[in-house]
Structure 1
């Protein structure tokens, strides 16, 4: 695990540098070109996300997990930097659906951390696969609904149309929730392979690293 974390520590810093440079460049460009406050505010405010994972580790008295950080920063680049700051949602065909599908994966992934955070003893047992899978699925679907509510609130506040209601009615919102659910189901399959066969990969490898550094009290693995 030490070698894996050493590799991901380098990847982690590279992703952070990429975010910082991209957001600074975009913010300066939007500011200089006279774009709406909304656009350069998105760019500059995104920089505030960089220290957030480290702040959470410190606040919760947890050890830093660089493989987990890399998952977080990689998704942030895709969903926020490319999607919002560089307007990928408007410019790249089906990018919005890709991001929502991956958000279903990521939210289910973090719901697994919550599952073991609240579980007495926090031990991993193979026989709890169905329970853990149900927990992460229901958590992710609930967050998908809350996300659509937040997009609606943004449209009221800023006068934008992130849900694309003017052109699709409720169609875009429903498709977002459908692909998010599909992403969640894909993660449940990955989770089942982890429980049944011990397969890790990128996501479950990050979970396993974090678990062993912070939660390990008893495990079948």
Structure 2
């Protein structure tokens, strides 16, 4: 299966689940979850829209990964109330976000250098950079949730029930997800062979950066 077909299959499944979420929330009178259905609908176009704005050629692997994360975090987590139904769901979402954070850091590092892959001498800096980017994203997200508490009294960080434990746990599992993804980058530079994580950037490079 090629990447484009895989993305459209994922998108079709996403839309079908979203339609069910709308029905489920109307039938049960879950007004907040119903509002999140609109958010989930808007978020599913984030990656294609960003590529269009930047005038990049599509990389369907990035589209698919982003959509899967949005499904976990917004569609299932909020629209289908998995955060309330399953105590582990929040940590699953943050772990997956760590993988995407590392991928974003890797794309950013190599894009700034305008190379398909970094020189071996730059690998130590690369590993520090991608993890710093990932941890920064995690910390900024927790700050956003804290602002929701301060401004709107919306307790997304479970402050009243867990104090700092929820935020620290979210950052912790994000780091763990990031370290797992980092192993794929290390493997790429040790073996010289691409893998799922690094191949995504190299495809992005060949389509959008390589002269």
More off after superposition, 156-165 vs 76-85? 156-165
Structure 2: give runs of 5+ residues left out of the alignment.
Answer: none
Residue-by-residue CA offset, 1:193-215 (whole Å, 9 max, x unaligned): 11221344333232232222223
Q: Tell me if the contact between 2:102 and 2:133 (Cα under 8 Å) persists in the aligned partners.
A: yes
Q: Which residue of 1 aligns with 2:13?
A: 18
The answer on 1:60 being equivalent to 2:54 is: yes
1:106 to 75, 100, 104: 100
Alignment partners' CA distance in 2, 1:181 and 1:204: 19
Q: Where in structure 2 are the equivalents of 1:52-201 lying within 5 Å?
A: 52-119=46-113, 121-124=114-117, 125-201=119-195
Q: Call closer, same or farther: CA 1:165–1:152 in 2, change over 3 Å.
A: same
Q: Tell me if the contact between 2:185 and 2:197 (Cα under 8 Å) persists in the aligned partners.
A: no
Per-residue deviation, 1:69: 1.4
Q: Call closer, same or farther: CA 1:130–1:98 in 2, change over 3 Å.
A: same
Give the length in aligned residue pairs. Answer: 210
Residue-by-residue CA offset, 1:106-154 (whole Å, 9 max, x unaligned): 11111111112322x3352233211111111111111111111111222
Q: Tell me if the contact between 2:116 and 2:205 (Cα under 8 Å) persists in the aligned partners.
A: no
TM-score (norm 1): 0.85
